[in-house]
Structure 1
Amino acid sequence: MIDISPTLAFLVIGSDGQVGSSLVELLASRAIPYYPLSSEAAFNHEQLTAFLQQHGDVRFIVNTLFEEPAEGLETDYAQWHAVAGTLAEHAHGHDQILLQLSSAMVYSGNTSRAYKESDLPDATSDFGRAMQQIESATAEINPKTISLRVGWLFSDQVGNFLTYLVGAAISQETLSFSGKLRGCPTDSQAVAKVILAMAEQLDCGVDEPPLWGIYHYVDSDACSMHTFAKTVITVVKSMTEVRVETIGEGDSPEMIDAVLEPENYELNCKKILSTFGIKQRPWRRSVHEVLKKKFSSH
């Protein structure tokens, strides 16, 4: 039986999201103590503060709330800032470590190379600007904060681009996706494993060099949205009946992922490799595993 550190325990904020639910599943499988709080409860100030006060001795707070909103969804970013501030203040007051999700969208995408952590954020979207501001504010409040920037998240949960593709392939004959939008598809389960791996090393009490700050993690092999869509639909075809016959490449204004100019959200992950020894996992392998799990459960 593997011994578990007595201080390795987690508050999982947003436990019903893609990464939050993956982290809860991982911690449960490892018999690591955790206390989940749903997104709805986290955005209720009274419930959030009561939860934090109840578990003030838990060493790690993991904020997985702030995933990129679906297209056209109204988002109260002021509320995001308030929740992030509450978590950072509580972590600082109770000497807790805060790990929080951020996003490649803190960048504009106006580059042809992979972004490094040292590149200055220059977000153009409301979501990206919110994440940029939350990163800065929480680090200032609580020095023991790690912000983990991730790529295009996917899982078997309803509402992300992968499950949209599955539904579209089954119901539509012709689909078209952008060849100009480039990024890194990233499995939420891989992100959960990264968070746990970082926490296990932080739990060892290494103080020099300081490990706090910003890190990038995305699954390996950056691609266009068109390439990702073709790969997903090919896997779906091997598992179930589909209607789709044509997967085109284009950038008409009606497309969900249409962009006027090339945008690149690839992230360089050398820092997390050199600091924590965490290697990237191929997203293609993860797509097959996620879809296999999805269809076997049905």
Structure 2
Amino acid sequence: MRLLIAGWHGQVARALIEAAPSLPHIKALAAGRAALDVRDPRSIERAFSDISPNVVINTAAYTAVDRAETDEEAAFALNRDGARLLACAAARRDIPVLHVSTHYVFDGTKKEPYVETDAPSPQTVFGRSKVEGERAVAEVNPRHVIVRTGWVFGPSGRNFATNILASANASEPLRVVADQHGNPTYAPHLAALLLDIAHRLAVERADDVWGTYHAAGSGVTSWHGLATEILARACVTNDTEPTVVPIASSDYPTAAPRPKNSTLDCARLYERFGLRLPPWQDGVAACIARHLES
């Protein structure tokens, strides 16, 4: 299978780039903006001509949630228009596209976990741009799988886990939001799942796989719970173990509102593909092990 990965710097893209070479049945090429600008049709055409992929995974996205509130044009150019151009190029070649999306398509007011059939109701520019990207992909390429995920973290780069570890030795207690809940998702776990799905899309021609799926770490916690688990696993000490103080969302204002409930129901993914991501605590353990090795 020849796989084109659109994107380079994000958590999921880096995990895909790391994992793909270990799979002998996959020949993958990841292309960042210098080699593949999804906003530029000519750049897309060159990439398809050079690689001749069987499947495309689109991780390219504008993900600066707060900055998007004042940078709407750039967010939509990448998350909607770029997604459309890439999916359209794949459709012209009858190539399936695996498109990564987000829990931000929902407003977070539902009490139960969100299922794929829940109506999107984004409350941020980022969320609206991702909803429009989903719709664009589905509109131009019938052979699409859209995977919504959330709370992605990894052992490197800038993300919640590395930020918590970097702050662990501060003299002041860590103040972390405790009234937002979701499924923490370890980027390498998600990457392995995406590669599995991509391989199936390349070798199976079943018509019942297309559509939208939720894929996130098993189990639910708050940001405070995730921070506490990270520090407990890391055994970080500075005379005493860092104190993690639970705070309300109102105590940590952001330009873009965060959903109170980001929990995703991933049952459909298991029913169709037999795939389920490990418990989020396993992801934390793997993340900390990698971090301590570096």
Same fold (TM over 0.5): yes
- Higher mean C-alpha displacement, 121-130 vs 196-205: 196-205
The answer on whether the counterparts of 1:70 and 1:159 sit within 8 Å (CA) in structure 2 is no
Aligned to 1:151: 150
Quote the Cα distance in structure 1 between the aligned partners of 2:285 and 2:62: 22
Question: Counterpart of 1:68?
Answer: 63
The 3 A distance-change label for structure 1 pair 234 and 256 is farther
Alignment-mate amino acid for residue 89 of structure 2? H
Please name the residue that 2:31 is paired with. 37
**Cα shift at 1:51:** 1.6
Question: Displacement, 1:35?
Answer: 1.3
Q: For structure 1, which segment, 241-250 or 273-282, has the greater mean C-alpha deviation from structure 2 after superposition? A: 241-250
Q: Hey, what does 2:187 align to over in structure 1? A: 188
Distance 1:252 1:96 in 2: 43
Q: Provide, for residues 206-263 of structure 1, a one-character-per-residue CA deviation record: whole Å limited to 9, x for no partner.
A: 324x21110000011111111111111212225x758763211112645267999981
Residues matched between the structures, number: 287
Aligned to 1:281: 278
Q: What does the per-residue CA deviation read over 1:260-281, in whole Å, with 9 as the maximum and x for residues that have no partner?
A: 9981010001100000000230
CA deviation profile, 1:10-31 (whole Å, cap 9, x unmatched): 0011133211111121110113
2:235 maps to 237
Following the alignment from structure 2 to structure 1, what is the Cα–Cα distance between the partners of residues 90 and 255? 40
Question: Could you say what secondary structure the match of 1:42 adopts?
Answer: coil
Contact 1:172/1:243 (8 A) holds in 2: no
Query: Alignment partner for residue 7 of structure 2, among 6, 14, 23?
Result: 14
1:78-97 mapped onto 2 (5 Å cutoff): 78-80=76-78, 81-97=80-96
Q: Percent identity?
A: 25
Which residue of 2 is the match for residue 290 of structure 1?
A: 287
2: CA distance, partners of 1:274 / 1:144? 19
CA gap 1:257/1:277 in 2 versus in 1, 3 angstroms: farther
Question: Unaligned regions of 5+ residues in structure 2, if any?
Answer: none
Q: TM-score, normalised by structure 1?
A: 0.88
**Alpha-carbon distance in structure 2 between the residues aligned to 1:168 and 1:101:** 30
Asked if 1:53 corresponds to 2:49, the answer is yes
Give, in whole Å, the separation in 1 of the partners of 2:67 and 2:221. Answer: 24
Match among 24, 29, 49 for residue 17 of structure 2: 24
CA contact (8 A) 1:89 1:141 kept: yes
The residue identity in structure 1 corresponding to 2:102 is: S
Write the distance in 2 (CA, Å) between the matches of 1:189 and 1:166: 19
Q: Name the residue aligned to 2:205.
A: 206
CA separation of 1:172 and 1:67: change in aligned 2, threshold 3 A: farther
Change (3 A) 1:266 1:67: farther
Alpha-carbon distance, 1:139 to partner: 0.7
Q: CA deviation at 1:50?
A: 2.0
* CA separation of 1:137 and 1:164: change in aligned 2, threshold 3 A: same
Aligned Cα root-mean-square deviation (Å): 2.4
SS in 2 for 1:102: strand
Q: Which runs of 5+ in 1 are unaligned?
A: 1-7
Alpha-carbon displacement from aligned partner over 1:143-191 (angstroms, at most 9, x marks no partner): 1111100010001222111111111112342111112111110011111
Scaled by the length of structure 2, the TM-score of the pair is: 0.89
What is the distance in 2 between the residues matched to 1:40 and 1:191?
25
- Alignment partners' CA distance in 2, 1:291 and 1:39: 30
Q: Distance in 1 between matches of 2:244 and 2:143?
A: 46
Structure 1 CA distance for aligned equivalents of residues 256 and 179 of structure 2: 7
Q: Would you say 1:250 and 2:247 are equivalent positions? A: yes
In structure 2, how many angstroms separate the alpha carbons of the residues matched to 1:164 and 1:156?
A: 10
Task: Specify the code of the residue in structure 1 equivalent to 2:269.
Answer: I
